[in-house]
């Protein structure tokens, strides 16, 4: 991936992006989060990359779709 470092540094230090970061951080704290990565599906909080399978399952459950997880199918 090519990335223009000057453009990147300008973007991440913009007032708009800093405001988004502050707002997201404040929301995380208000919802009981404490680190990164933290993901929410509805009101369920998941912390850590190792929770991604649970996040995927919760997204499916929240959408009303049935998911077939590894090991849960007959082949």
pLDDT surpassing 90 at residue 56: no
Residues 39, 49: Cα–Cα separation, whole Å: 10
What's the whole-model pTM score?
Answer: 0.66
Nearest to 25 by CA among 38, 15, 9: 38
Please report how many Cα atoms fall inside a 13 Å half-sphere around the Cα of residue 7, on the Cβ side. Answer: 3
Residues near 25 by Cβ (< 8 Å), separated by ≥ 6? none
Cβ-count burial of 30 within 10 angstroms (0-12 exposed, 13-18 middle, 19+ buried)? exposed
User: What tokens were used for 36?
Assistant: 């990164």
pLDDT surpassing 90 at residue 65: no
């Amino acid at each position: 991936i090519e990335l223009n470092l000057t453009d990147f540094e300008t973007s991440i230090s913009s007032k708009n992006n800093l405001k988004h970061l502050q707002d997201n951080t404040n929301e995380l704290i208000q919802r009981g989060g404490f680190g990164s990565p933290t993901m929410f599906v509805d009101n369920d909080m998941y912390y850590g990359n190792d929770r991604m399978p649970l996040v995927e399952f919760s997204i499916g459950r929240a959408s009303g779709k049935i998911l077939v997880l590894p090991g849960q199918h007959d082949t």
